[in-house]
Structure formats: C-alpha cells, structure tokens
Structure 1
Amino acid sequence: MSAEESTIAQTQTSENSDSPPKKKTGEILKETLRTKSLEPVPQENYECPICLNLLKDPVLTKCGHRYCKNCLEEWRMKKNTKCPLDDMTLSVEDIFPDNFTKREIEQIRKSFPDQFEPPAVVLFECRFSTISCEFKTTEPEEMDRHMESAHKEHLEMLLSSYLKTQYQAWEPLEKTKNGEKEAYLRQQSTTRDLVNAMYERIVILEQLTREQAIKIDKLQSMETRKHGTLVWKIEDFKKKIEIMQSNPNMMFYSTEAFTSPDGYRFCARINLSNKMRDCLSLHVHLMRSENDYHLSWPFIGRIRISMIHTKDSSLTQTDCIMSKPEILAFHRPCESEISPRGFGFTEYAVISDIIKRGFIENDCLIIKIQMNIV
C-alpha cells in the first residue's frame, strides 16, 4: 500500500468511529496554512512517505523525493537500497540533507505551536515490574534485550520477594472479618504463586542455557572448520587399526571442513595400504556442497598434511601436495556426496613407527590438513 493509500484508509477509519477523528500532521499543516491566509503548500512536500508524519531531519534523494533521515536509513537497512516511491537505486552519495525544507517546517512550528501535538509514546514495562524491576522503554527491541540479559537480576528479585513473603508468614496474622483463616490462606497463596513463578523461570533459564551451550559449541566447531584447516583427532586408534586389519575394505572418514565459509568442502580418509598391510594410507577427498556452482574447477591449490607430535613439535611430520588439474580427484564431485577419488598417500606411515615415535597419546592420533587456494 502506498503512502497516499495509507492516509486515505486511516481517514476512512476515523470517519466511521464515534470519537472525533484525529487529524494527521500533514492535514493539520494544510488546514492551518489555509485558515491563516498563507500560501497553501502541498501536503506531500512536508509529509514523509514512509512514516506519514511531518518530516524530521528531512533529506532529499537524487530522484527528488523527501523522507525523514531515520526513516530512509532504516528502509535501506531493512528493505533494500531502492527509493520507496520509484524503485530507483540509491547510494549514500545520492541522499542530501534538505535544509531548506527543514527551515520551512521549523518556521511553521514556531508560528503555530498549538497545532502540532507530540506523538503518543508507548511505554513498555518489564514483566517483572511487580517484583520491583523498574526497567521501562519505548522500544520493543530494547525490552527484548533486557529480558535476555537480566536473568540474574530477575532471579535475585524473585528470591528476595520469596524470602520477604516467608518472613511475613511468621508475623502475626492479619485480623479480618472472617478471622485469621482468611489471612493465612492469602499468605499461603502468595507464597505458592511466587515459588511457582520462580520455578518456572528457572526451568526456562536452564533450558535456554543448554540450548545456547549447544549452539555455541556448534558455532565454534564450524568456525574452526571453515578456514581451510581440518584437525582430525582419530580416537580409539588401536581399535580402529584392529578393525581395518580384520576387514581390509574398512575405511574411516573425518568430519567435513571448508577452505573458506563459501569455499571448497573436503574431508580426510584413512585405511590400510593394499600393498603393505602394516602401513597406513591417508587421502583427502573433495565433497559436494552448495558452493560448487560459483567455484573454479578443477581445484587449484596447495595441501599441507601434518601428523602432529603432541609432546615435541619438532617431530611433527609434514608433507605438502600441489594440485594437478589432470587428476580427477581435484575435479568437481557430481555423482556422490564424497568424490570417489582422493589425493594423498597410499603408504603414509608405518603403524608400528607411529606408535614407537610417540605420535599416539591417550590412544589418539592427530592429523592436521590445511588446504590453501593459489
């Protein structure tokens, strides 16, 4: 609905109500200028098409439209960078302060101060105001932030209110026309309501804390895996070796990683060498992802593979591989989630040497893979 349609709809609604219709600022301005025998000014010259109120800190676009400065900034942030009236693309350089219109509005305000009522302010109170929380605001978003950040203060208020009620329970019961029984029941009801409210709030906070902890762990894990580095902790290493020795076709895969947030997706794989059953094979596989359509194929870059020695970094084994466009392992995976072809080493390390040289700690082998685009 356009600004003009919105004004018409609001005017019709006011006419159908029992109470006298409240005129908009633009209508008041137009009527005031007419009654004072001044030169009539078109309403749209002083009315913001976004908020439909009198222009505040007016700005002028290159396409000739006027808006409140804050209204246009919020529109560009939340909606798009186009003019609301004619869809012309606007950059910061296309928006100018309209000081002439600002001076005209200020002069009109000074000439007819009684004609302009301040906008009604809606005040939001905290839901814990009944237990002494004094936070108030006119912004719903600010109230949401308060409710999210003031858990500790609200719990302390609940506890303080509960303890205060408990102390009152030991005071002489208030005399009423129905005797002490009514006063006792009223005090018990108040205590029960406070305990229930506090219990429900604690349950909600505990659930929220658990959910946030899970999200934080997930975000931290994703953050480390989206910058071209994969740290693979192969736990239960000896058990995995026994499984692969009993089943030569058995393979173990790492979790996924990305060269960048919008980059190539890849993972690592270990299995026993077909030629040397006491030797570990290590390969890296490209994986299909939603980023593939805008990436350059085949993959061109440098792959750095390290077997980490946790006690002595000088003993860490590091190998580098340069991609080759003719090798299918570097081409875009299309048929399956994981490319069936990998690149790496069919005979990466002898298992007995890995154990003897101290690469295994707490039955865990750490492999670090870094993929850099060149």
Structure 2
Amino acid sequence: MDRDRSKDASEGIAPMGIQALNETVLSNQPESRYECPVCLNWLRDPVITTCGHKFCKSCITSWLQNSGHCPIDNINLSMKVDIFPDNYTKREIQEQRMNCPFSTKGCTVKVTPLDLDAHIAACEFNQPETSTQPEIKVPCSFQAVGCKDLFDSQEEMNQHVETDVQKHMSLLMNAYSEMKINNDMSNASIDAKEQEAMTLWEAPDKDGNQAASAPLNNTSALIRALYERVVVLEQRNREQDIVIANMSKQLSAFTIAKMKQNNDMLLRYCMGNYVWKIDNFKARLDAMLRDPYKMLYSPGFYTSPNGYRFCVRLNISPMNRHCFALHVHLMKTENDDCLDWPFNGRISFAMINQYNPELSQKDTMMSNSSLIAFRKPTAEICMRGFGYTEYAVVSDVIRNGFVKDDVLIVRVSIKALYERVVVLEQRNREQDIVIANMSKQLSAFTIAKMKQNNDMLLRYCMGNYVWKIDNFKARLDAMLRDPYKMLYSPGFYTSPNGYRFCVRLNISPMNRHCFALHVHLMKTENDDCLDWPFNGRISFAMINQYNPELSQKDTMMSNSSLIAFRKPTAEICMRGFGYTEYAVVSDVIRNGFVKDDVLIVRVSIKCV
C-alpha cells in the first residue's frame, strides 16, 4: 500500500461531511507527524511519551485514566513521569497557515490549524445558503450503510456523527465485509490484492493525472472513505520509523546481543551510581565465615563513560569477625593516561534496609590523595582499598531487614570533583527522558556495527572526548607537504541533545614549525532548542604517553562575540577557536607524545 498517497485522497478523509468536502478542506488535513493518533486531528497542546509517540494533552490524559497504556505500542505509561510537553512540535504547528474553508466564497484569511474552528464560527462568509425548497429532515451521512437516524439540522447531524463513531465504524466494517465477499465471489479469477486496488483506487495515467472512472455510489464512497482512513491508521509503520529515528538519535542505534553486553553498558554509563545486588547471600556469608580470605567483589563501574573505574569489596573484617568490612578499589581502564591522578572525590556507601528504607545505613567519605588506594592503578584491581574495616555487625544485617529473598543490596555513589558540575547539569527534563528510555529500552537492542557504537560514545561522552590519531607520522608528512591539509576529529556532544564540536589539528599557517589546535561547532538537529552563542569552558590536553605528568594542558573560555560560537549554518562552522601555535612539531615527535604511531589529544568542553 502506497503510504505517500494517504493524504492525497479526493474524498472520505473523515466520515463527517463527506459530501461537502472540497479541495480546500482536504488540503487542511494534518500531516501524520502533526496528527493525534487518538482524535485524528491536529495536535492540541502536544505532548510526547517516553516511548516516542505524540498526542494531544487532553486525549492522552483521558486515555490513560481509562487504560494506563500507550495507544500505539501498549507500553505502560504514567502521566507524572512518562509524559512531557513537546514545545518543538507546538511551535511547528503554530507556524502552519491554512486557508479558510470558505475561501471559494471570498474569504482570504489564513490561520493556524488550531485557530481554524474559531475562525469558521466567526467568518463573515459562513452564511447559510438560502433555499426555496420546503424544510426536510437531514439524514445521517452513513444512511447508505444502515444508519436510519434523521435530524432537523445539519448541526444536529454533525453532532450525531461525532458522538456515534463506534456505531458508524461498525456499520462501515459490516458493509466493507459484505462488499468484499460479493467481489470475491464475482471475481474469483482475479488476485485479491488486485481486486482491492481495482475497486478502491484509480491508477494514474502517464502524465501523472488520475484516470477518469465511473462515479461511485454512496456505498462505494463510504467504503472508500473507510479504506482511506485505514490507510491513515496503517501509518503506524511510519510512527515506528519515527520512534526508531528518535532512539537512533538518543542511543545512536546502540544495541545489545547478550546480557553481559547490557550490564557492561549500564556499568559504563551509571555515572558513578551503582547498586550492587548480592544474591544467594546466606551461602556466600557462610563461605566467608568458614574462610577468612573469602571476599566478594562487585563488577567494575565508571564515574563517567571515559572516567575512573571502581569496584566494591565486601568481606568479614579481619579486625573483628563479627563485622563486615566494606571498601572500594580503583581498577585499570584504557583511559587512565588521560585522567588526573590521584583520584579526588566523594565516596558514599548505603546498605539498604529492604523492609524500611529509612533505616538504611549510609556513610560518606572523601578521598585522600596521599594514599596508594587513589593513585593510578598498575594492576587490573588496585591491591589497596579505601573504606571501613568494621562497617556493619553481621548479626544486625541478618536480623534487621537488610536481607530480603536472600539478597543484600549495597548502593555506592562515587563522584569526582570535576564531574559534580556535570551531574548537576544533567538534572533537566531532557536527561530524564534519556535515562528513562535507556532504563526501559536498553535491554531490547543489540550492537550491529562498530560505527553505531562509536556514535553512541560520541553522543554520550558529556563533552569529554579522547581523540586518538593513528598512523600519525604519515598524516604529519601529508600536512607538511600540503599546507591546506587538516585533520578533523569525529563530532562529539556536550550532552546527548546538546552542542556538537569537533577538533582540528593542522600545521600552523603562521609558523610551519608548530601545530595549530582548534575546536569547531557543528550542526545538529537540536540547534533550534539550544542557547546561542555557546558559552563555556574548553580544555585541551596533548598527552605524553611515556610520562603523563609532562602532558601539555591548556584551558580557555569561549567568547560570545566571535562567529566561532554562534549557531552554525553549515555542517561545520568555518571559524574555529583555539591556538594557532599550540605545540612545536619537533617537540611532539621527540618528547614522548607519539607512541606506536598514535598521538592522543584530550578535549573537555563544559557549558557554563
């Protein structure tokens, strides 16, 4: 079925007023992206759900009061946490302009879709046509399919059509079924799909014009109206495409093939907030009581996607066999050379009372930069931990409601000092939508290609991007030969729906012995929703891979008067911001910045 023709039908778009519809009214029908799936009219006070569908606020409110599920995909929804205003769509609808249905009588007014009804009621050309015929009863528009109701006025008939939708749909479906049976019996030699097309659609001629056909009777017109409405409803596939597109923008089509991959993703993107559920706890406790060297370790989790990695250790205290010891340990990651050492931040423990959460045991401590436990780890797990040697009494944990269904829950929150601002900035509605979608839908996806994975990391790096330039010597030779040769990093985001930047490295035109290093703003689908010009802090670090302490680090603030920070009009803003003489080429080559033919540049961009 051709979706593109669903809005081009010449009659029967809606049951009301089928005989009176003209080209002006038909042209005023909403596009599918502006149409409420419940009332099938223009979206009024549009809202969007966490599953990606759009509705009128009043429609979805009434629907959820009776159902509690999404009308499209039947997912459980709550008005308090799953429904959000869609101001972008609201602005788009308000920018639409439509002709008055009485334009053929001389009205030249163009109004927004939502103001059309009010204009029609007050339009000076909305005058009843005079008639010399005696007053007669107005039959229902669905008289041909069995509705026998008669009315004194057109307004009463219109109200009847609006209120008795279920009755009329039932009559239409019965008529359609009866017509299909007759057609099948009389055209048994013709394919069913071909017969359906011949009955309800006329093929265009070679010039693209609709071929002439015999006039349809009332029944055929109504059946055709139903069929076209079914076409509109069948655009759910299009809605699904929109959902997939939204998820690809938010998650970059990030998918998971196995539960292990799902857990790894949650651990990397938990932002330092990890809930450790220790199942089969009584058996594990018995093992620890029998063996004093028996210890339980949680999976490794990250303070940010490219940040520090920690795990939690629970064991019987060697100082007091009646108590639990609880510690955190730093773990090795691929980005350790790009991080600041020793770790500096706040660590919070909470052993959850599952029968009365108010009785949960909560403790907070600050890191100590003088301890080995917070230095850069040299092994997979740092041997030195940091925490409490006597955190909780074993008997109290067993008796006082901390263990339920043989599960003990320990919640850990680790925040690096420089990440606290990021966490606070994430407390907005956009991030709530992203987190809700990730928590509900993350388990439904799988990773198909490395490119999709990279796109995900770029969108959710929170402005912290590590650019690894491989095959560097060959690229450097090319830049030295060609003064216009430049290297650009992939585009990365300051937040999932925030600003997008890329980094440019090239030989300085001012000094051929130096590198120039700049950032450029890039175009995104959310630019209209962002504040311009960009205002924030930009940090560069060219990493010394043999001695990270010798890395070259620089920080600068944006300048709102520069074109470089205005809303980009091209895919990449032509104006960049940075250093025209950032580092001497020979120093970069000789002093340990290049290892295994790879140069690493770390960029951190934070909105202010």
TM-based fold match above 0.5: no
TM-score range, shorter chain: 0.3 to 0.5
Which structure's residues are more often helix, by fraction?
Answer: 1
Q: Name the TM-score, length of structure 1 as normaliser.
A: 0.45
Q: Name the TM-score, length of structure 2 as normaliser.
A: 0.28
